[in-house]
Amino acid sequence: MKKVLIIDDDEVFAKILSSSLPRDKYTVVHVSDGEDGLKEMEKEKPDIIILDLVMPKMGGLQFLEALKQKGGNHNTPILISSQLSKMKDISEGVSKGMGVGVKGYIVKASENMDMIIKTIEKTIGA
C-alpha cells in the first residue's frame, strides 16, 4: 500500500483527491500547511507528497527551502499542486525543488481527478 501525503490548505481538493484514490492501493494523510507537512513527512515516510504552494504559516516554497536546509537525500517524490493562474509560482516551485524531489506539478482547476491520479501513479511507479 502506497502512502500519499497531501500538504494543502484547500480542504475540498484534499477530500476529493483522497476519496478518488483507490483505497486498496493508497493510504492518504492530509495536513494544511508546510510546518505540519515537515512533521508528517518524518513521521509517516510517504511514497509521494502533493504540495500546494500558497498556504498559511508555511507555504510550499518555504517547505522546499526547509527540506534543502535539512540536507540529506530526500527520495520522496513531490508533485507541486496549484491553480492555473499561479503558473509563475508553479515554475518557481518546480525549479526550487528539483534538488529535493520535485518531479512535476498538477494544476488543480484544469485537470480532472483521473489525470491527477495517473500523474501520481506514473510518478511513484504504481
Q: What is the pLDDT of residues 50-65, one digit of tens each?
A: 999 888 889 888 998 8
5-9, 98-102, 103-107: which has the minimum mean pLDDT?
98-102
Alpha-carbon gap, residue 26 to 14, rounded angstroms: 14
pLDDT at 51: 94
* Nearest alpha carbon to residue 64 among 114, 112, 100, 95: 100
Alpha-carbon gap, residue 98 to 29, rounded angstroms: 23
Contacts of 10 (CB under 8 A, 6+ apart): 52, 108
Q: What is the pTM of this model?
A: 0.87
**What are the chain's domains?**
2-124 (3.40.50.2300)
Of 3 and 115, the one with more pLDDT: 3
